[in-house]
Structure 1
Amino acid sequence: MTNVLNVITSMDPVYGGMCQGIRNSIGHLDTKTIVSDVVCLDEPDAAFLGKDDFNIIALGGKTSSWAYSKHLLPWLNKNISQYQVIIVHGLWQYHGYAVRKALYQAKRKNKDTPKFLIMTHGMMDPYFQKAPERRLKAIRNTLFWKAIEKKTMNSANGILYTCEEELLLARTTFSGFTPQKEMNIGYGILPPPPKNLTDIATFKARHGISPNEEYILFLSRLHHKKGLLNLLNAYSKGLKDDIMLPKLILAGPGIESEFGQQLYNLVAHNSFLKQQVKFIGMISGEEKWASFYGAKAFILPSHQENFGIAVVEALACKCPVIISNKVNIWREIEKGNGGLVSEDTEQATFEALKKYITLSQNEIAKMKESAYNVYLDNFTMEIASEQYIKAIVDVSL
C-alpha cells in the first residue's frame, strides 16, 4: 500500500478544476493500493469541508497572495515521513516551497522522505507570460521562477501533466527548466448521473427558459481568459445579423468581480444581448448535470485552458462542445468530431456559432453520440486512474 499526500492551497469548490480534479481522482482509487490524504490551507471550519470520502487536513492561517501559512511547514516536518509520495498541486504559491524545504530538512536528519511530484495544472502555460493583461504578473512570475520555483520544479522527482499539449507547452515558458521526469498521466471524470427530464424541466423553469426553448451553455468562472468578451461580441453580431441564436446561459462564479461587472454591464446596455443572455451564478449537483443534458451545445472559447473539466462533463452528457484551440484537449475533440474547434478570436467564435446553428438535426444527433465516444475513449476515470497509479508506482520504485 502506498500513502500519498496531496498538497494544495485550497479545496474550495468555487476554485474549480484543480480541487475538483483531486476529488475525481482520489474518489476512484482502490484504497487497498493507494491511500490519499489532502493537506490544504483552508480554515478548518470552512463550510465545504467534511463532505468528501477522503481525509482533508485543513490547516488555515493563509495570508497574502502567496498563500503563506505559518502552520504548513511545521505540519510537514512532523508528518511527511508517513507518506511514500507527495504531490504538490499548482505553482507560484508557498505550498510548493514549503514541501521542498520540508524534504530538505528531513533528508538532513536522515529521515525517510517521500518521492516528490508536482502537478502543474496548466500553470506553466506560456499564455500566462504573454497575455497583455497579465504583464505585471508575468514579471512577478519571472522573478519568482528565478528565485524559488525553478529550484522547486527541478528538484521534484517528476512533473505530472494532464495531456500531451500541456507537457509540450510547459517546455517553452521559462529557461532553466530541466525536469527529472515528465509524465502525461491524463485526466478524467466519473460518469455523470443518467439524464433526468424532470431535473432539466426544473432547471429551465428556475432560470426563465421556456420548456421547448433551446440554449447554449457556458459553465466556468467569469474570467478574462475564458474568452467571454469574444463570446458576447460574437453573440451580439449574430443577433444583429438575424442569426437565430438560442439563449446563452452563463453559469459560474465571478459576477461580483470587476470583470464580471464589465460583462454584466455589456449585456445590460446591449439591446440584443439583454434579451438572450442570462447570468445564473454557480451551479452544482443535479442542477449542473441538468444544464448539460438540456443544452443544445456547451461553449468555452478560452484564451487558455489546461484541460477543461466542464468540457469533458459536457461530452459525457452527450452535449457537443464549441471550444477554442487553446483548450488543451482540442485535438481529441476535433479528431472524434465531438464538437467544433476554432481560434480564440471574436470572428472565429462567431463563425463557429454560425456553423453549429446551421447543422441539421441529424448532424447534431451524430455529434452528440461522437461527443460521448470522445469521453469514453479518452477521459474516463478508469483510463485516468490507470495512468495515475502507474505514475505513482513507477516513482515509488
Structure 2
Amino acid sequence: MQLIHVVPHIAAEASGPSYSVPRLCRALALRDHKITLSCLAAGQQIPEVELSLHSSWPILKTFGISTDHTNWLRHRSNHVDIVHNHSLWSMVNITAGWVVPGRKAKFVTSPRGTLSEWALSHSRYKKRVIWPFQKRTLEMADLLHATCEEEYDDIRRIGLKAPVLIVPNGIDLPVPHSRAPSRSNDRTLLFVSRIHPVKGLESLLESWSRLESHFTNWRLRIVGPGDPDYVDSLVSRAASYSLSRVEFVGPLYGKEKDAAYREADLFVLPTHSENFGMVVAEALAHECPAIVSHGAPWSGLDRERCGWWIPNSVESLTQTLETAMSQSEDELQAMGVRGRNWMEREFSWDGIGQSMEDGYRWLLEGGSPPDCVRLD
C-alpha cells in the first residue's frame, strides 16, 4: 500500500504524537508499505519513511495554515491508497478533510485524545470558531482510529458514525535489566509527563502532603517540561505544604529519562484526560509498577496485577499511594516484571503495525471486518 500520514509537526524530542506517529509510520514501512509523513516541521529523520515538509503562514501560527501543504495533499491523494490524518484543530488536519474525500485515497482520522470531555472544555473559543470546519473532517472520514475503548466512546458520544479501528500506541521496549537490591532503604515515587493542569499535579501534591511524614524513606520526583509560571505555582504549593522530599527535576530525555524509570520504585499519573498515556507504557516497559487515574485508559493495570487504576480524587490517590508505598521492594519488583511482560505481549510496534495494516486492508478491500474494527 501507498500511505500518507499527516501530522502538524514532529518535535525533536519524541513524545505524544511526535513519538507515536513516526513509530507507527516506521512499523508500517517495515511491513513493505510505502510511507510518506507530511508535516510543517520535523526535528528528526525517520528510517524507511519519506518526509514531506511544508511551509506555513508567518501569521496566525497557532492555526498551522499551509497553502503549500494543502495543494500538495490535493495532488498526492489521487495517487495513494490511504491518507491517515493524526490529531485535530490544526488547519493542517482540517484541510485534509476538505481536499482528500472524493479522490482516490481513503481517508482515516485519529483524534489522538482531542475529543475527550476534558480536552473539549479547554481553549473553547478557538474550538468554537474552528468546529464547523473540523466537524467536516471528522464526518468525511472513511475510518476513524481510536487508541482505546474510552476514545471510541468519545467518538460515538459526539455522534460520529464511521467505523472505528481500535489500535493502541506501541512502545519501544528498552533492553531488559536486572534491578539490583537497594543498598539503602531509600525509595522513589516518580511522575513523568508534561507539567500541565491536565496532569493532576495539584492532587498529587495534596496527597503527598498527607503521606510524606509517614513514609520517611520515600521521595517524590516530578519530571517533565512545563510553562515556567505554572511550574513556579506548583513549587509554591509544595512549599505551602512544607514538603521536604519533592524534587522538580525538569525535562529528562534519552538515557537520563531511562535512568529515572529504572531507579524508580513506583510511577504515578493522576491525569484528568489522556487518550493513551505513553509514559505509563514507558514505566511498565522499565519494570516500574504504576498508579494511574481513570483519566487514562489503563484498566489493564488491575487485570495484569502490575499497578492500580483508580478514581480521579485526592482521597483515592492518597489511599492507593499509602497501599503501594507499604509494599515490600520484592512485591513491587514482581509487579514491575508483570508489567514488562504485558508490554512485550500486547504493545510491540510490530503487532501494532499488523493491526493497523489489517484495518487499512479491510477499508480498501471490504469483506468481514477484523476484530480491531468496530461497526456499532
TM above 0.5, yes or no, is: yes
Where does residue 393 of structure 1 map in the other structure? Answer: 361
1:60, distance to aligned residue in structure 2 (A) = 3.0
Q: Distance in 2 between matches of 1:223 and 1:380?
A: 28
Distance in 2 (alpha carbons) for counterparts of 1:211 and 1:393: 54
* Superposed counterparts of 1:195-210, under 5 Å: 195=177
Aligned residue in 2 for 1:73: 70
- Counterpart of 1:220 (choices 188, 193, 203) is 193
Indicate if the aligned counterparts of 2:118 and 2:273 stay in contact, CA closer than 8 A. Answer: yes
Taking structure 1 as reference, are residues 251 and 307 closer, same or farther at Cα in structure 2, changes over 3 Å only? Answer: same
* 8 Å CA contact 2:30, 2:48 repeated in 1: no
Q: Match for 1:119: what amino acid?
A: S
Per the TM alignment, residue 78 of structure 1 is displaced from its structure 2 partner at its CA by 3.4
* Residue matched to 2:286: 317
Aligned match for 2:221, one of 243, 249, 252 = 249
TM-score normalised over the length of structure 2:
0.88
SS of 2:176 mapped into structure 1: coil
User: Contact conserved, 1:333 with 1:374, CA < 8 A, in 2?
Assistant: no
2:249 match: 280
Distance 1:32 1:324, change over 3 A: closer
Residue 265 in structure 1 maps to residue 233 in structure 2: no
Answer yes or no: is 1:148 the counterpart of 2:124.
no
Residue 121 of structure 1 is matched in structure 2 by 112
In structure 2, how many angstroms separate the alpha carbons of the residues matched to 1:113 and 1:345? 49
CA deviation map 1:262-296 (0-9, x unaligned): 11322345432xx3112222222222222111110
Matches within 5 A, 1:48-127: 48-50=43-45, 52-61=47-56, 63-103=60-100, 107=102, 113-127=104-118
Moved more, 276-285 or 13-22: 13-22
SS at match of 1:283: coil
Counterpart-to-counterpart distance in 1, 2:233 and 2:278? 25
What is the match of residue 205 of structure 1?
none
Give the Cα separation in 1 of the matches to 2:151 and 2:115: 8
- For the 8 Å contact 1:158–1:180, the answer to whether it is kept is yes
Match of 2:374 in 1: none
CA contact (8 A) 1:161 1:186 kept: yes
RMSD of aligned residue pairs (Cα, Å): 2.5
Deviations 1:295-333 (A, max 9, x none): 1011101011111111011111111001101111x2111
Q: CA-to-partner distance for each residue in 1:155-192, whole Å, 9 max, x for gaps?
A: 111000111221013322x3xx3332111122211221
Cα distance in 1, alignment partners of residues 26 and 45 from structure 2: 14
- Partner letter of residue 254 of structure 1? G
Normalization by structure 1: what TM-score?
0.84
**Structure 2 residues without counterparts, runs of 5 or longer:** 366-376
Match of 2:163 among 181, 200, 207: 181
The question of whether the paired residues in 1 share the 8 Å contact of 2:97 and 2:138 is answered with no
CA contact (8 A) 1:267 1:277 kept: yes
Question: Relative to structure 1, is the Cα distance of residues 267 and 376 closer, same or farther in structure 2, using a 3 angstrom cutoff?
Answer: same
Q: Contact conserved, 1:255 with 1:281, CA < 8 A, in 2?
A: no
Q: State the distance in 1 between where 2:217 and 2:203 align.
A: 15
Q: In structure 2, what is the equivalent of residue 165 of structure 1? A: 150
- What is aligned with 1:306? 275
Matched, 1:327 2:296: yes
Secondary structure in structure 2 of the residue aligned to 1:221: coil
Residues 293, 310 of structure 2: 8 Å contact kept: yes
* Pair 196,254 (structure 1): closer, same or farther in 2 beyond 3 Å: farther
Q: How far does residue 375 in structure 1 lie from its aligned partner after superposition?
A: 1.6
For 1:334 and 1:13, locate their aligned partners in 2 and report how far apart those are by CA, in whole Å. 34
Residue identity opposite 1:249 in structure 2? R
Where 1:86 maps in the other structure, the secondary structure is strand
Structure 1 portions without partners, runs of 5+: 202-209
CA distance change for structure 1 residues 30 and 98 in 2, over 3 Å: closer, same or farther?
closer
The one-letter amino acid of 2:339's match is: A
**Deviation, structure 1 residue 127:** 2.1
**CA–CA distance in structure 2, aligned partners of residues 127 and 70 of structure 1:** 31
Give the whole-Å Cα distance in 2 for the aligned partners of 1:124 and 1:361: 39
Match of 1:380 among 342, 348, 355: 348
Map residues 13-24 of structure 1 onto 2, 5 A cutoff.
13=12, 16-24=15-23
Kindly tell me the number of residue pairs found equivalent between the two proteins: 362
- Show the counterpart of 1:193: 175
Give the CA deviation at 1:386: 1.6
Q: Aligned in 2, Cα 1:60/1:237: closer, same or farther, shift over 3 Å?
A: farther
Checking the alignment, whether the CA contact within 8 Å between 2:113 and 2:119 is kept in structure 1 is no
Q: Distance in 2 between matches of 1:245 and 1:322?
A: 19
1:329-344 to structure 2, matched below 5 A, reads 330-344=298-312
**Cα deviation code 1:61-119 (max 9, x no counterpart):** 25432222232212223333332111110011201221122225xx4xxxx52110001
Helix, strand or coil: the match of 2:165? strand
CA offset at residue 30 of structure 1? Answer: 4.6
Change (3 A) 1:260 1:353: same
Percent identity, aligned pairs only? 22
Q: 1:268 to 1:55 in 2, by over 3 A?
A: farther
Aligned residue number for residue 11 of structure 2:
12
Aligned-pair CA distance for 1:15: 7.2
1:13 shift after superposition: 4.5
Task: Indicate how the Cα distance of structure 1 residues 51 and 23 shifts in structure 2: closer, same or farther if over 3 A, else same.
Answer: closer
Q: Name whichever of 211-220 and 340-349 sits farther off.
A: 211-220
Q: Residues 245 and 374 (structure 1 numbering): CA distance in 2 closer, same or farther, change over 3 Å?
A: farther
